Structure 1
């Protein structure tokens, strides 16, 4: 015995909502892709930073804050 299935019509036929992406939803991935592509093309510019990176200081500060 089979049960009837109820399918919903596509949004376009019901006068659905027009969904638009904000400008940054496309700009940020494109920017990241271009930066990574430039690093691949010129790896001499992709050297490691000297000294401790700033993120290490932030993580240490967060660890001390949580330990209190």
Structure 2
């Protein structure tokens, strides 16, 4: 009895693989949206209240630059 050789799947050759339009459009849209979020520094507001980390950094600066 001879061994049966498997038939190659159509994906292995690379031909005939088509992506739907949204598989490229959605990642591009998400990238542009995130880029616009970080590219607009005019929306940035300084923190109103002091935090423990801010106090620690100020104390370290005070010690270093006496």
Do these two structures clear the TM 0.5 threshold for a shared fold by scoring above it?
Answer: no
| TM-score (norm. length: structure 2) | 0.41
Which has the higher Rg, Structure 1 or Structure 2? Answer: 2
| TM-score (norm. length: structure 1) | 0.39
